[in-house]
Amino acid sequence: MHGNVWEWCADSFDAEYYGRSPSVDPQGPVDGTNRVYRGGGWFFTPRFCRAAVRYWSEPNHRNTSIGFRVTAVISIEPPPPAVAPFDAEQSHAH
């Protein structure tokens, strides 16, 4: 999902890093004073709305077009169906 807000990344910023980084899955510099954000904001043109577009700022920088994505791991297997009368184990599963 791109284009809602610029998304803060865990990567620190180093202007020289990608010139010397691995070409596959670079992890970003270990430390730095600035953080990377990517993906384009809601009022930017479509060419900015992709993960490859990255900028940086101090971590305490705030505005209406920079945010973060909330994620959660959910189980893909639903609990077994409850059958009346409920026993104690079934009541905790639902």
Residue by residue, pLDDT tens for the chain (94 residues) are: 566 788 888 888 888 887 888 888 877 888 888 998 888 877 788 888 887 888 899 989 988 888 887 778 887 887 777 666 666 676 666 5
Omega before residue 22 within 30° of 0, cis: no
The DSSP symbol for 23 reads S
As a whole number of angstroms, the distance between CA 3 and CA 7 comes to 9
Q: pTM of the entire structure?
A: 0.61
Listed by start position, the domains of the chain span 1-94
Closest to 28 (Cα-Cα) out of 5, 48, 36, 6 = 36
Cα-based torsion angle of the residue sequence 21, 23, 25, 30 in order, rounded to the nearest 10 degrees: 0
**Tokens representing residue 27 in the block:** 């992890």
